[in-house]
Amino acid sequence: MSGAVASITSGLECVQKLRAVRAADKSLTQRVAAIKGFQHQRFEHDYADLLANPRYAAAARFFLEDLYGPKDFSARDAQFSKIVPVLSRVLPDEVVHTVVQLIELHVLSEQLDQQMAQHVEAGALDRPAYANAWRAVGRRDDRERQVALMLDVGHALDRHTRKPLLGTTLRLARGPARAAGLGDLQEFLQNGYTAFKAMKGAEEFLKMIARNERAQIDALFAA
């Protein structure tokens, strides 16, 4: 499990360095925000049916806001950093593995977004400018890895919902987590568990995500 802890630690450090580069460049910060905002709008458009479906809405919103969204995850990341040394003692191995995948997805998404931001002008971002930046960055294997990680995390959350004790543990941890300054982290884990539990099976949901995201990759690279 020391390998998992090392992966999480190095991943969080990588994201921290990316944020430091942005902090020193206001224009880059704004352009990264524009990239993330454009992607957020695209997701809302592409998955409007899922967001409106009572069965899938919570999981789609979790993907949109908590797993890969435009909001600032620095507080959550800092809380992950605080518990990394004891992670393998307080979470089951399978959940720790999910955290490793989550952090890998987080790092890859931040790298790709920041690299794309270096290929766009400041200000409003439209589809052609976004597509040009996408192709300028390239890294198709990493784009496909990004989708694979999203799906892996989704499948893992689906498996975790079959363990009622984990759900109870997360609910009971809400108060202590907030008291310990780990509220954002607990809320993230709780949101994921609750959203996937409500679906009562995530296979069709994840298949729809996979089809659409892979079609997006093909279309953007082919344009």
pLDDT for 184: 73
Residues 6+ apart with CB under 8 A from 2: none
For residues 196 and 55, the answer to whether their CB atoms sit within 8 Å is no
Reduce the DSSP state of residue 97 to 3 states and report it.
helix
For residues 79 and 182, the answer to whether their CB atoms sit within 8 Å is yes
Mean pLDDT value of segment 19-30? 94
Handedness of CA 72, 78, 83, 85 (dihedral sign): positive
Q: What percent of the chain has pLDDT over 90?
A: 52
Cα 38 from chain centre: 16
Domain ranges of the chain: 2-222
pLDDT for 86: 73
pLDDT at 120 over 80: yes
pLDDT for 93: 79
Reduce the DSSP state of residue 82 to 3 states and report it.
helix
Residues 6+ apart with CB under 8 A from 45: none
Separation of alpha carbons 109 and 147, rounded Å? 10
Average pLDDT, the chain: 87
Q: pLDDT tens digits, residue range 141-199? A: 999 999 999 999 999 989 888 877 776 767 766 676 676 666 677 778 888 888 888 89
The DSSP output letter for 86 is: G
Type of residue at 134: W
Q: pLDDT tens digits, residue range 126-135? A: 999 999 999 9
